[in-house]
Amino acid sequence: MSRTTSSITLICALLLASMPDLSRADTIEQQRFRISGFGTLGAVKSGDEILGFTQGLYQEGVFDGDWSYKSNSNLGLQLDANFNNRFSATFQLVAKERVENGLEESLEWAFLRFRATQSVTLRAGRLGPSNFMLSDYRNIGFAYLWVRPPTEFYNILSFDYIDGMDVAYSTPLGTGTASAKFQVGKTSSTFARSDNRYDVKINPIYLGTLVWENDLWQTQVSAALIEFDSDKYVAGTQQLAELLEGVGGLWPASQSYLDGMESDGRHTRYYSFGIAYTPENWQIQSEMSYIDTNVELYGSLRTGYLSVGRHIGPTTAYVMLAKAERGEDRKTIEPAPAVGPPLQPLLDVLQVNTQYVYDATQVNQQSASLGLRWNILYNLAAKTQWDRTWVEAYGGGFWDQKAIPTEDATIDTFTINLNYVF
């Protein structure tokens, strides 16, 4: 039985098990069954002739300053079922733009929850990752201030869910509540780049998060360790790598380029810190992260953002600065050695392609954003945002690249969203 079929069977079984018991209408213990939803109707204008705007690697780009109605739009439905005071289940289906878009991808949450004690909760199934402050509610635009979580910070997190389990502990601490969560699992995602598709599998993921919050402050630190579970080389470079292996005798330097493309069994570590301060009329938030990996092709990345918002009646005006910066300099691939015909053209093509894959993953960009959120109704908000992004030459890794940008680029992104919950 496929995973999709078994997921559907599980949903049906749980739906039946959670039907409300009408004989107990006057003494409700907890709401047995709840269906809720959220959505975004959005329009984005962005991109230039070679860099296409995306919200994540799972989308195709928006190029040439075109308008896209799909990039930012989504619709989600959630079912919560309380079986008793300890056991409950949550399912969430999200329709949005993805290059692979079946039920398997659309089922973002499907977990059983067990409240072991007042302070300890266990969950198992398909869960949201908790490594950044917004990582498990990026789809719910109504729940945050901006039109999207800052691209510089969140684009690196291109998987939506973890198949696994987590344990969370929370306790009052000082004037607030402290909580700790540990997640373990695996995930997979299909990425779109330059009209190609790459399947990326990650197994295992270990993720630890500490949060402290009160009415004014929220702080979070987290660390994650992931391991690529793939072919020997980084997704999308397999064919090139095999050709490089074949010419190793003619081009000895190619061995070090091959080593840099190996990903199977290699690790990536995420460290992040976030803080939010929300006094009566202000909403200030910042996150910083450092991502390190021993896959040389990806390299290390430092990212961060700072957002300051001011509530004025039902509207909030905000500014945001964000940056993502690669730790290492651009790697230059040496010219292939002169071997003469008939193999010289092959070596030259391999040199160009190797340079391309090393350049394609480089990220160096920063943005300044201005935006406005207007709470039209208690469950409906309109937002608009203007981002000016400076992408350095060879630093377009967060964009869908038709070619490697050899000069600095400045791109304006305009977004208009309607966000709602029901």
Partner 1 sequence: MQKLFNIAMLSILLLVAARAPAGIVVIVNNENPVSELSKREIIDLYMGRNLYFSDGKLALRLDHPPTSGEREQFYQTLVKKSVAQMNAYWAKLLFTGRASPPLLMGDSEQLLDTVRNNRNAIGYIDESNLDDSVKVVGRVD
Query: What is the spatial distance between Cα 189 and Cα 267, in angstroms, rounded to a whole number?
Result: 17
Binding status of residue 239 toward partner 1 by CB under 8 A: no
Query: Contacting partner 1 (CB under 8 A), which of 18, 46, 90, 389?
Result: 90
Minimum CB distance to partner 1 smaller for 230 or for 283: 283
Minimum CB distance to partner 1 smaller for 115 or for 331: 115
Binding status of residue 64 toward partner 1 by CB under 8 A: no
Of 126-145, binders to partner 1 (CB under 8 A) are 127-128, 136-137, 139-140, 142-144
> 3-state DSSP call for residue 358?
helix
Binding status of residue 32 toward partner 1 by CB under 8 A: no
Binding status of residue 23 toward partner 1 by CB under 8 A: no
Query: What is the spatial distance between Cα 162 and Cα 391, in angstroms, rounded to a whole number?
Result: 31
- Region of residue 196 (phi > 0: left; psi between -120 and 50: alpha; otherwise: beta): beta
DSSP 8-class letter at 61:
-
Q: What minimum distance in Å lies between the beta carbon of 86 and partner 1? A: 9
- In the chain, what's the furthest Cα-to-Cα distance? 89
SS percent in the chain: helix, strand, coil, step 5: 15, 50, 35
Q: Minimal CA–CA distance to 185: which of 155, 132, 226, 156?
A: 226
Query: Contacting partner 1 (CB under 8 A), which of 5, 31, 255, 294?
Result: 31
Q: What minimum distance in Å lies between the beta carbon of 422 and partner 1? A: 10
Size of the site for partner 1 (CB under 8 A): 43
Query: What is the spatial distance between Cα 37 and Cα 309, in angstroms, rounded to a whole number?
Result: 26
Q: x/- binding map, residues 142-181, to partner 1, per CB under 8 A?
A: xxx-------------------------x-x--x-x----
Binding status of residue 396 toward partner 1 by CB under 8 A: no
Query: Contacting partner 1 (CB under 8 A), which of 118, 195, 249, 407?
Result: 118
Binding status of residue 76 toward partner 1 by CB under 8 A: yes
Query: What is the spatial distance between Cα 122 and Cα 110, in angstroms, rounded to a whole number?
Result: 14
Query: Contacting partner 1 (CB under 8 A), which of 28, 102, 195, 332?
Result: 28
Query: What is the spatial distance between Cα 104 and Cα 160, in angstroms, rounded to a whole number?
Result: 12
Minimum CB distance to partner 1 smaller for 219 or for 344: 219
Apex 298 CA angle, 256 and 137, nearest 5: 165
Query: Contacting partner 1 (CB under 8 A), which of 2, 23, 27, 410?
Result: 27
Query: What is the spatial distance between Cα 102 and Cα 284, in angstroms, rounded to a whole number?
Result: 37
Q: What minimum distance in Å lies between the beta carbon of 103 and partner 1? A: 19
Which residues, including other chains, have CB under 8 Å from residue 5's CB and lie 6 or more apart?
none
Of 295-334, binders to partner 1 (CB under 8 A) are 314
Which residues, including other chains, have CB under 8 Å from residue 345's CB and lie 6 or more apart?
none
Query: What is the spatial distance between Cα 227 and Cα 317, in angstroms, rounded to a whole number?
Result: 40
Minimum CB distance to partner 1 smaller for 92 or for 354: 92
Instruction: Supply φ then ψ for residue 245, to 5 degrees.
Output: -60, -40
- The region of 109-117, 184-192, 242-250, 384-392 touching partner 1 under the rule CB under 8 A is 109-117
Q: What minimum distance in Å lies between the beta carbon of 96 and partner 1? A: 14
Binding status of residue 218 toward partner 1 by CB under 8 A: no
Cβ atoms of residues 331 and 354 within 8 Å: no
- The region of 1-9, 74-82, 286-294, 332-340 touching partner 1 under the rule CB under 8 A is 74-82
Q: What minimum distance in Å lies between the beta carbon of 318 and partner 1? A: 14
Sign of CA dihedral 82, 86, 91, 92: positive
Query: Contacting partner 1 (CB under 8 A), which of 240, 381, 391, 409?
Result: 381
Instruction: Supply φ then ψ for residue 5, to 5 degrees.
Output: -65, -40
Minimum CB distance to partner 1 smaller for 215 or for 329: 215
Minimum CB distance to partner 1 smaller for 195 or for 215: 215
Q: Minimal CA–CA distance to 51: which of 366, 357, 399?
A: 399
Residues at the interface with partner 1 (CB under 8 A): 26-31, 34, 36, 38, 76, 78, 80, 85, 90, 92, 109, 111, 113, 118, 123, 127-128, 136-137, 139-140, 142-144, 170, 172, 175, 177, 213, 215, 280, 314, 375, 377-379, 381, 421
